[in-house]
Amino acid sequence: MDDLDRHIIGLLGADARISVATLARRLKVARSTIQARLERLETNGTIAGYTLKLGDAGRQGRLRASVLLMIEPRTQAACLTRLRAIAEVERVFTTSGRFDLLLELSAPNTQVLDQVLDQIGSMAGVKSSESLIHLATKIDRAV
């Protein structure tokens, strides 16, 4: 999976109903290129559905992390807008307690994960963050 594939997945993650033509315009590539990429990602199991669910081939070998964010008051909407633009951010939850947001990240390697964590930590409105790298899955009942 290369950068174009990651950008396609990021845009589909934000809007799984986006058209192939719109994807091509936004990514500045030919419509046929997007169509071919989507077919390949579907065939090899990377894209398992259009709610955007990554299949085993898409998750295999990826680093996963949870990030707890404490944000400035009244900056949640702006922070969420910026987080939506980061392809490695898969889910964001609001939380109770000390932290305001819980992020689930997935990255292909430690360098990308480190860059994403730096990007998130330096965002306007972020007071502090705590990162937890996932090591092994012991129980997984998610559908």
User: What is the C-alpha R_g of the chain?
Assistant: 16
Report d(CA 21, CA 38) in Å as an integer.
12
Q: What is the CATH number of the domain that holds 29?
A: 1.10.10.10
CB 1 within 8 A of CB 54: no
Q: 71 pLDDT exceeds 90?
A: yes
Three-class secondary structure of residue 142 per DSSP: coil
Same domain, 50 and 72: no
Q: 51 pLDDT exceeds 70?
A: no
Position 141 in a domain: no
Structural domains counted in the chain: 2
Position 69 in a domain: yes
Encode pLDDT of 80-127 as tens digits: 999 999 999 999 999 999 999 999 999 999 999 999 999 999 999 999
pLDDT at 137: 82
Please say whether the dihedral angle defined by the alpha carbons of residues 105, 107, 113 and 117, taken in this order, is positive or negative.
Answer: negative
- What beta strand segments (E) does the chain contain? 47-49, 53-54, 63-71, 89-94, 101-107, 126-133
Its domain, for residue 81, covers 63-133
